[in-house]
Amino acid sequence: MDKSILMQLQNVTKTYVLGEIKVEALKETNLDIYQGEILVILGPSGSGKSTLLNLIGGMDKPSTGDIFFLDRNLSHASDRDLTLFRRREIGFVFQFYNLVSDLTARENVALAASLVSKPLDNREVLDQVGLADRGDHFPSQLSGGEQQRVSIARAIVKNPTLLLCDEPTGALDYQTGISILELLKQARQTMGSTVILVTHNTAIGAMADRMVRMRSGSVADIIINESPVPPERIEW
């Protein structure tokens, strides 16, 4: 694993105001993210893991603190700059896929590819996720696992620096979930992307290079995994 730092979070907090209530979703957090690693963020519901992922992915700005991507400070970036950051550097995989229902699998991938100047080849990417022969199907014609594969293909076609996954196996059965994890690991190997995975499933932590445990909005622990386990050997 390349140890150069890709992103740095320094004293980052995030507070949401919901009516009269202030929710401190993320308390003072410091975290470095390394190029090419698989980082798994673990924690129960409400621990702040999704908030952390959203901040890393440029989907939100911190209330206080700084987030550096290489030498760029994203904390004070404009909406447009954050959009461009997400366009060029981030691939996002959601728990419920969020595909465009009116586009086929191939077209969903092409949609993302259209955003960057040098995307990967649509067909190759679909082939990589094992859906070369299902490219002309609409999401309603695909199983949950197949939809998630399309979602991954859509994320990686941009050749992103960071691949962020929010509970990617949360809506899938065990076998399908394992196959998704295998794809994510493959993406790191073939493209060199940094993969950050948020999950409440502690078993998935075994495949990580590092695990970040979240509790009540704070980083409770950061564990280096000396021997990451291949996805096919993970059980839950």
Partner 1 sequence: MKVLNRRLQHIIKGSLGQFLGMAVIIAVGISLYIGITTAFFNLSQSQHSFYQDNNFADHYFYIVRAPESILKQVEKVPGVKLATGRIQKDIPVLKDNQERATVRITSYRLPLDREVNSIQLMGGRLFSSYPASGGMEVMVNPAYFEANRLSWGESIDIVAENRKYPVKVVGTATGPEFTYIMKDAANMMPDNETFGIMMIPLNQAQQLFNLPGQLNQVLVQFVPGADVDTAVQSIKDILSPYGNLASFPRQDQLSHAALDAELTGLDAISGFLPMIFLTVAAAVQFVILRRMIKTQRTQIGILKALGFDNTQIILHFSTYAILICAIGAAIGIGSGVYMASYFSDLYAMFFNLPQAIGGLNYQVILNSILLSLGVGALAGFSASRPVLEISPAESMRPLPPSRSSRSLLENWAWFWTRLSSSWKMAFRTISRNRFRLLVSIFGIVSAVALLILSMFTNDAVDYMMDQHFNKESSYDYLLTFSQPVKDSELLNIARLNGVEHIEGFFSLPVRVHYLGHSEEDVLIGIDPANTLKRPTRENGQFIPIPDDGIILSRRSAERLGLKVGDTVQLETLLGLGPARYAQVKITSINYQLLGNESYITLTQANRILNEARLVNGALMQTDSSQTENIEKHLADMTGINSIVSRNKERDNILSMMDSMIYMVSIMIMFAVVLGFVIIYNSVIMSFNERKRELAALLTIGFTRQEVAGIMWKETIPQAIPAVLLGLPAGKMLAELYFSSVEFDMWYMPVVIYPSSYAMAALGGVVFVLLGQWAASRGIKKLDIIELSKNID
Burial 96-131 (b: 16+ CB within 10 A, else e): ebebeeebbbbebbbebbeeeeebbebeebbebbeb
According to DSSP, the β-strands at 64-69 and 21-34 are unpaired
Among 107, 127, 159, 228, binds partner 1 (CB under 8 A): 107
Please say which residue, 3 or 118, places its beta carbon nearer to partner 1. 118
Among 103, 132, 176, 185, binds partner 1 (CB under 8 A): 103
Helix axes 174-191, 144-156, angle to 10 degrees: 10
Q: How far is the CB of 228 from partner 1 (least distance, A)?
A: 25
Q: Establish if 77 lies at the interface with partner 1 (CB under 8 A).
A: no
Q: Establish if 170 lies at the interface with partner 1 (CB under 8 A).
A: yes
- With beta carbons less than 8 A apart as the criterion, state whether 108 and 154 touch: yes
According to DSSP, the β-strands at 162-166 and 90-93 are parallel
Element holding 211 (H helix, E strand): strand 210-215
Q: How far is the CB of 224 from partner 1 (least distance, A)?
A: 27
Please say which residue, 7 or 155, places its beta carbon nearer to partner 1. 155
What tokens does 89 get?
């550097």
Q: Establish if 50 lies at the interface with partner 1 (CB under 8 A).
A: yes
- Residue 63's nearest CA partner among 19, 9, 21 is 9
Q: Establish if 167 lies at the interface with partner 1 (CB under 8 A).
A: yes
Please say which residue, 158 or 209, places its beta carbon nearer to partner 1. 158
Among 24, 28, 34, 59, binds partner 1 (CB under 8 A): 59
According to DSSP, the β-strands at 194-199 and 38-42 are parallel
Site for partner 1 in 193-212 (CB under 8 A): none
Site for partner 1 in 133-152 (CB under 8 A): 138-140, 147
- Residue 130's nearest CA partner among 187, 174, 61 is 187
| Segment interacting with partner 1, rule: CB under 8 A, options 68-76, 84-92, 214-222, 226-234 | 84-92
User: Which residues bind to partner 1, rule: CB under 8 A?
Assistant: 50, 53-54, 57, 59-60, 79-80, 83-84, 86-88, 90-92, 94-96, 98-103, 107, 110-112, 114-116, 138-140, 147, 154-155, 158, 166-167, 170-171
